[in-house]
Structures are given as C-alpha cells and as structure tokens.
Amino acid sequence: MKAIQIKQTGGPEVLEYVDLPTPTAKANEAVVKTTAIGVNFIDVYNREGRYKVPLPFVPGQEAAGIVEAVGKDVTTLKPGDRVAYASMLGSYAEYTCAAADRLVKVPDGVDDRQAAAVMLQGMTAHYLTHDTFPLKRGDTALIHAAAGGVGLLLVQMAHNIGARVIGTVSTEEKAKLARDAGADEVILYTKSDFESESKRLTGGKGVDVVYDSVGKTTFEKGLNVLRPRGMMALFGGSSGAVAPIDPIVLTQKGSLFLTRPSLGHYIITSDELQKRAGAVFGMIAAGKLKLRIEHVYPLKDAPQAHRDLEARKTTGKLLLVD
C-alpha cells in the first residue's frame, strides 16, 4: 500500500511517499480502506519531534474510510461499514488497522470527508466547550485562530450555546469567516493588540475563558484578559511551546485556572468516544455545524499540505485523499 512515512524528524521534506505492507486484522481489530485523512497541527508536532514518536512511523491521527476486513471476535462492525477514527497514529496511508472499539460508525447525513474533518477537531471543540470549560448562555469566550480548523468549530459551538464570542484572526478574509460562523466581535491581531481590545470589549471585566491553540505568542496576554477565576484552556502551540510558568502567577492575576487538555483524555472509554463523536455528527446532520473543507491534497502531496498549514495559508480543514 502507499503511505507517508517519517524516518527522521524535521521539516515537511521528511514526509516520504513509500510502499508499505498492507495491514491484516488480528482479534478485535478491523482493517479500514482510507477515503479521507485529516491534517492537524499534532501531525506537525510529531514530524518535528516536539511530540516524541519512535522512528520510523506513519503520521496522522484522523481519518474516515470503509471497513475492509474484521478480525476474530469483532461483532460491532462488518466489511462495508463506513467508519472514522481519531487519536490513533498512522492515518497517512491507504489502509489502517485499528481496534474495533475505537472506530465510530459514520451515520447517514455525514459524508466521509466531513467525518474525517471533525473526528479530531470537531471532538476537540466539543470537549472544550462542553467539558473543559462548559460554556453557558451569557458567558464570554475569547477564541484564538478563530478562522482555523478548530477555531471555526469552536465559534459555532459557543455561539449555538449562547455565549458571547470574541475571536482573533490575522486578515480581513479570516475575520469575515469568523463572523459568518457566529463570532460577535473579531480582533485583527495584526492591526490591534488583542489584550487591550478584549479588555475594551468587556468593559474591563475580562473574559470567562480563553481557548488558545496558538501558545507562545498569545499565552501571557491571554492570562491578562481573563476575569478573576477565569480559565485558560491551552490546547495547542502553533506559534511554539509556552515557557514554564510559576503557579503563583495564576494567583497574582486573579486566582486563574490553567489547563493543557488533550482529546485523548476526553475519549478514554469506547462509550465516551461514541457519545462525543455521535454528538458532533448529530450537529452536522442537523445543520448546526457547518464545515469548511477547501484544501484537499493527494496523499503524496502531504509535504505541501504541511507547508501550507504552517504558513497559515489555509482556513478551515485540510484533508488528504488517495
């Protein structure tokens, strides 16, 4: 089978298009013929070596496809079923093999590309808004990278809950996307200081929660815009890793809460995975969650997809297809 393999960490050039053996299903596993693959910043972190993975490896943690074969004792799936998965390494390939209880059936009303686009980013937006800091009507949320893959989904979910949404973006084009998704206010951080603007927009009170996927360049000012006992949900680091912080800083800035959550800890059990994915698929089918999939690359062009993602040339979701 064709796949992308990383033999040494580094830039996009280390993503090699190679031939690898097609996997076979063992007991309690299923082989999936991949139809669409999600591209995410965690793939970049793995490629760079920021998140350590034994070499060599096939990158990617999200995809949708069709069950090709099932192993012994698999009763919940059969060949021909449409499925999707997230948080399992190895999706940049024509075929993947996965534990059957980590695969989610894709319902009617959701196509394969939509499923691949939301398994990681959609469930991330869901746990952030429903569990990490459960938003309620009247809350104010600051969402960085509001026109990005997770950002657009976060904006929509927060808006649907009834929260006030302040988004940050880099361009007028992205500002329009964020507004169309439901952002009440949008700050162009390339023209205005988001800290002073956020304080102005909240009358100096601060926001209830900051959802930050950017990291290094936004973290410190993000703490400054929180209300007393507000929460910083730092779930990514597209600008680089955040420096270590002395916990006393959280006290000094208003007894703040800081968390660095990861999707894997919010889908630990199969039941939690099925429910969270089901909730996101339900939003899509009901028309309450609109996806922006405008960047689709052949599998062999994974290096270019990474370059575009890192250069912030994209909005919404990036997919690879074979």
Q: What is the DSSP string of 200-240?
A: HHTTTS-EEEEEESS-TTTHHHHHHTEEEEEEEEE---TT-
Q: Give the pLDDT score at 165.
A: 98
Nearest to 272 by CA among 21, 148, 86, 112: 86
Q: Which tens digit of pLDDT belongs to each residue from 305-314?
A: 999 999 877 7
Kindly report, as residue ranges, where domains of CATH 3.40.50.720 are found in the chain.
Answer: 136-260
Q: Give the pLDDT score at 312.
A: 77
Residue 282 has pLDDT above 90, yes or no: yes
Q: Give the pLDDT score at 37.
A: 98
Distances (CA, A) of 262 to 117, 167, 241, 322: 17, 21, 15, 28
Mean pLDDT of the chain: 96
Q: Give the pLDDT score at 221.
A: 97
Q: Could you say which DSSP state residue 57 is in? A: B
Q: Give the pLDDT score at 254.
A: 98
Q: Give the pLDDT score at 238.
A: 85
Locate 3 and state its tokens: 């796949």
Q: Are 168 and 189 in contact (CB under 8 A)?
A: yes
Which CATH architecture does the domain made up of 136-260 adopt? 3-Layer(aba) Sandwich (3.40)
Q: Give the pLDDT score at 322.
A: 81
Asked if the bond preceding 303 is cis, omega within 30° of 0, the reply is no
Q: Give the pLDDT score at 115.
A: 98
Number of H helices, E strands in the chain: 10, 15
What's the whole-model pTM score?
A: 0.92
Q: Are 206 and 215 in contact (CB under 8 A)?
A: no
Residues in contact with 21: Cβ distance below 8 Å, sequence separation at least 6, in sequence order:
1
User: Which range has the worst mean pLDDT, 139-153, 162-176, 193-207, 305-319?
Assistant: 305-319
Residue 173 has pLDDT above 80, yes or no: yes
Nearest 5°: CA angle at 302, between 301 and 306? 125
Kindly report, as residue ranges, where domains of CATH 3.90.180.10 are found in the chain.
Answer: 2-120+269-321
Average pLDDT value for residue range 225-241: 94
Q: Which tens digit of pLDDT belongs to each residue from 35-56?
A: 999 999 899 999 999 999 999 9
Give the integer Cα–Cα distance in Å for 248 and 245: 8
CATH number belonging to domain 2-120+269-321: 3.90.180.10
SS3 68: strand
Give the integer Cα–Cα distance in Å for 131 and 225: 21
The percent of residues above 70 in pLDDT, for the chain, comes to 100
